[in-house]
Each structure stands twice: as C-alpha cells, then as structure tokens.
C-alpha cells in the first residue's frame, strides 16, 4: 500500500463517520511530514452551515491546532498534502490555493462541481499539484450507498462516471 492509499483510507474512514451522522459521506485528512495532523468530514447538516465541507472542516481543524501549538498561524501550507474522498469544489479548492496547499489528492471525481478538471480547471490555472483517482472505488462506495438510501435508487447524476476495470 502506498502512502497515498494509506492516507486516502483514513479519509474514507472520516467519510464513513460522516455517513453515520447522516451527512453526505465525504472525508478529508491533512498530512504533513508523513503524519495526519487534521481530520474532517462533512458537517453541513450538524452545523447548519453550507460551507462545512469535509475539506473546510479539516483546514479549520488544522488551523486551530497549528495556532495552538505554534502560537501563530502560517498562511504558507506548501509542505502540506490534503487527501479528500471527493474532488474538491471551487470553494474548497479556492481555500487550498489561497493558503498554498502543496498537494491535493482525491478519490472520486465530481462531475457536477469538481474544480480539479471534472467540471472546472481551477487547479491548472493556479498550478496546483493534484492527483486524482486514488482508492476511487473505496471513496465512491459510501457516496453511492448514501444516494441510494436517500433517493430510493442509485444516483442518476453519477451514472456517467465509469469505474476503471480491476
């Protein structure tokens, strides 16, 4: 198992925690120097906050911990990698670009709102180092299960996303 797969597995675990809370199952972790230093999953329902995406929760957790431990907050996070089970949207990617996140790794593509090539190409415009498709099936399954449960059928919006053959 590669480091990317190991850390994406942790993001998937976060997504499953979110699912258990009734949230759309998307999870994220922040990694620095080979260590997970922050975690997050969607909390939009729990916080009544439409901006409480997994990546934003994770970045807020990281900011609070970093500031507590170092007495100041750095706005250059070029030494940080964020792992997300779903391709970041424009809002989340914008925050990552603003704070110079060094690398972004995601599992499943988001053909509706993905900002790393699926819907928008903001990552290329900003020169962000992005790697997509890591543990894609594992990242996708909780989403598909969630939508099937809440819609009463498989999501038609995701039907066009083809999974690679194993």
Catalytic residue ranges? 55
- Rounded to the nearest angstrom, the gap between the alpha carbon of residue 100 and the centroid of all alpha carbons in its chain is 16
With a CB cutoff of 8 Å and minimum separation 6, the contacts of 129 are 102, 103, 104
Which residues sit opposite 81 in a β-bridge?
31, 103
Q: Which DSSP string do the residues of 47-101 spell out, in sequence order? A: HT-TT--HHHHHHHHHHHHHHHHHSS--S--TTEEEEEEE---HHHHHHHHHTT-
Are 119 and 110 contacting, i.e. CB atoms less than 8 angstroms apart? yes
Are 116 and 93 contacting, i.e. CB atoms less than 8 angstroms apart? yes
């Amino acid at each position: 198992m590669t480091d990317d797969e190991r850390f994406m597995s942790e993001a998937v675990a976060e997504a499953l925690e979110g699912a258990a809370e009734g949230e759309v199952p998307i999870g994220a972790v922040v990694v620095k120097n080979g260590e997970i230093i922050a975690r997050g999953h969607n909390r939009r329902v729990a916080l009544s906050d439409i901006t409480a995406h997994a990546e934003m929760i994770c970045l807020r957790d990281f900011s609070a911990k970093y500031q507590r431990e170092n007495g100041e907050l750095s706005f250059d996070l070029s030494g940080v990698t964020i792992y997300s089970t779903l391709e970041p949207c424009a809002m989340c990617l914008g925050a990552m670009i603003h704070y110079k996140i060094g690398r972004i790794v995601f599992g499943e593509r988001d053909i509706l709102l993905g900002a790393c090539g699926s819907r928008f190409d903001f990552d290329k415009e900003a020169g962000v180092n992005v790697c997509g498709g890591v543990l894609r099936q594992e990242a996708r399954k909780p989403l598909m299960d969630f939508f099937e449960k809440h819609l009463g059928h498989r999501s038609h919006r995701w039907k066009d996303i083809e999974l690679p053959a194993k």
